[in-house]
Structure 1
C-alpha cells in the first residue's frame, strides 16, 4: 500500500454532497445550507462550470472539520490545481495511480471509483483512503457485500450513483455508512431552500438509522 495514504476522516456523518453543475455564484449559499444541515464533506465535480472557483468559495466558508474538494479528477495537473484551491478531498470515477499518489503527497483524502474486486485492490495499493462503489445502484447491497467480504476489514467503503437517503437502511445492513448524494440532493437550478429541505431530510434519516443523537 502506498506510503502516501491518508486515512479516511472520522466524520460524524459520512455523507458527501455532490454538487455537479453548480455555478460559482451560487456556491456560497448552497454550501452554507449543506454545512448547516450537517454535511461535513462537499464534492464539486470538475465538469461543473468554473469548478475551482466554486471550490475556493466552499473552502473559504468551511470550518476545520469540513472536507471540501473535487470530483471527476482525472489528471495530476488537476490534483495540483485542487491543492492550490485549498481542497482536501479528491474523488474520481476511476483508479489512476498517478492521480492518487499526487493527492496523497498533498495530504488529501481520496475516494476513487471502483466496480470490481480487481479495481478495489488496485485502488488500495495506490493509496486510496476509501473506495467509492459506483454506480452503486447497479451493484446494490448484495453486490457490494460480496466484494466487501474479500477486502481488508478496516477498508472504508462508500456508495455513490443512483443512491439517495432511501437506500441508507439497506446499505447499513451490510456495514456501509458512507454515501455520496448527487441528484437526490442537488440539481442545477434548485434554490438553496429546496436543497436545505432535502439535506435536512437526509440527515434526519441518517441519524435515525445510525443511532446519532
Structure 2
C-alpha cells in the first residue's frame, strides 16, 4: 500500500470524513458548489464519471481547492483511473470491487476506495491495497451488517456506507463502526443552488460532529 496516499487520506478523514458525491455536476457549477462544500468543512469531493464532462469538473475543483482531496466516482476501468489522474484527481471511488482498478490506482499513488457488499469482497479489496471501503448500497448494508464487518476487518481500515445517508441515520451507522459516509443526492442534486448545497452540507457536518466520538447525536 502506498504510504503517502494512506497518510493523505488519514489527514483528510481527520478533518472531515464525509465525501460529497457530486453526481450530475457540470463544469460551470464546480467552483460555486466546491466553495459551498469546502466552506462548511468538506475536504473529500467526488465527481462520478457519469456526470457531464466530469474530467473538466475534477480539474477545476482540484485546481481551485488544492486543500481538498478531489477525485472521481463510478470508476470502472484502469483507463479511467489514468484519465482522472491526468485531470488532477487523487481519489478513485468505484461502485464495485475490481482488482484491475485497484491495481491501477495503487500504481499511480492514488487513493482507492472500491465498493464492497460482502466480507469476501471486503477482504479481497483490502488485501489488494484499497485504502478504505465503500459499503454499497447502504440500503442493504444496515448498521448490524456494518457492526459484523467491523468486528472482523482491520481496525485501521475505514468503512464508509454510501446510499440514502441522511443526517438522521448517521448515528446508527456510526455506533456500528462506520468511519465516515459518502453523501449523494441528499447533499447535491442537479438544479440545486450552491447556497442550498452549503445549507445541506452544514447539516451533515453538524450531525457528524454530534455522533463522532460519542456514538450518538447529542444535540
The TM-score bracket by the shorter chain reads: over 0.9
The separation in 1 between residues aligned to 2:51 and 2:32, in whole angstroms, is: 17
The aligned residue for residue 164 of structure 2 is 162
Matched ranges for 1:172-187 at <5 A:
172-187=174-189
Q: Please, what is the CA RMSD of the aligned residues? A: 1.5
Q: Which runs of 5+ in 1 are unaligned?
A: none
The aligned residue for residue 37 of structure 1 is 40
Select the residue among 141, 144, 147 that pairs with 1:142. Answer: 144
The aligned residue for residue 80 of structure 2 is 78
TM superposition shift of 1:41: 0.1
The separation in 1 between residues aligned to 2:111 and 2:167, in whole angstroms, is: 23
The aligned residue for residue 69 of structure 1 is 71
The separation in 1 between residues aligned to 2:10 and 2:45, in whole angstroms, is: 13
The separation in 1 between residues aligned to 2:119 and 2:140, in whole angstroms, is: 15
8 Å Cα contact 2:146-2:178 kept in structure 1: no
Task: Report Cα offsets for 1:20-58 as digits up to 9, x if no partner.
Answer: 011111111101110111101000000001000000010
Structure of greater relative contact order (alpha carbons < 8 Å, 6+ residues apart): 1
The aligned residue for residue 94 of structure 2 is 92
TM superposition shift of 1:4: 4.5
TM-score by length of 1: 0.93
Give the match's secondary structure for 1:158: strand
The separation in 2 between residues aligned to 1:115 and 1:72, in whole angstroms, is: 16
Q: How many residue pairs align between the two structures?
A: 209
